[in-house]
A = this chain, B = another copy of it.
């Protein structure tokens, strides 16, 4: 069956994201190195994020709240408020980062938009992701933007119902095996993995994917070749 809709993940598929988070985490760990070594702070932060994930969901605001909580746990009741103040400041800087499109993204969208309906399917904070799309200047190429609280099988099924297409008419492109690839394959869609050089630990999947509807692509521009 012919592909009608192409779904794109946003963070680290269309534009740079994880390196900005890592830069923030690095500054946060440096801030607390009087109390704990760098890697231990990082471990504590990740633990806080996992503990709160079902309550906060994905996105920068939840990440900021986790930095605050971790800072207090590490610095203790008597620590200076400066660590919390800095954590908030780092988070605000993260929200205001410029958008840096990845190589080949815009020419690819221009080539594909004639023949397919293009959609963005991304997790994160609603306002933040909308703002990033607007700042990116590529929002005009998309037929629909779906900001999702999670990317499980059922979330993709809802998206396809909403787009009024069958799974066989959908291909998803993204950098996360866990969020962009496995659930889409599970519901009968196609999924093309474009790995990014760095991935958030929570999105890591160890086992290799072997599936007829799966492709691993080094550069997003190669997609053109596989679609035709």
Q: Would B65 and A85 count as touching, CB distance under 8 A? A: no
A95 contacts chain B at the CB level, 8 A cutoff: yes
Chain B, residue nearest A127 (CB): B57
Interface range for A: 35 or more
Q: Would A81 and B75 count as touching, CB distance under 8 A? A: yes
Q: Would A61 and B68 count as touching, CB distance under 8 A? A: no
A149 contacts chain B at the CB level, 8 A cutoff: yes
How many chain copies? 2
| A68-B95 in contact given A75-B81, A77-B80, A81-B78 (Cβ < 8 Å) | no
Measured between beta carbons, the chain B residues less than 8 angstroms from A64 are 65
Mostly, the A contact residues are helix
In the bound complex, what is the Cα–Cα distance between A88 and B85 (angstroms)? 14
Measured between beta carbons, the chain B residues less than 8 angstroms from A125 are 57, 61, 125-126
A82 contacts chain B at the CB level, 8 A cutoff: yes
Q: Which of B59, B72, B88 meets A81, CB within 8 Å? A: B72
Contact with B along A24-57 (1 / 0, CB 8 A): 0000000000000000000000000000000111
Contact with B along A67-101 (1 / 0, CB 8 A): 01100100111111110110010011001100000
Q: Which of B80, B85, B91, B127 meets A149, CB within 8 Å? A: B127
Contact with B along A124-161 (1 / 0, CB 8 A): 01111010000000000000000111100000000000
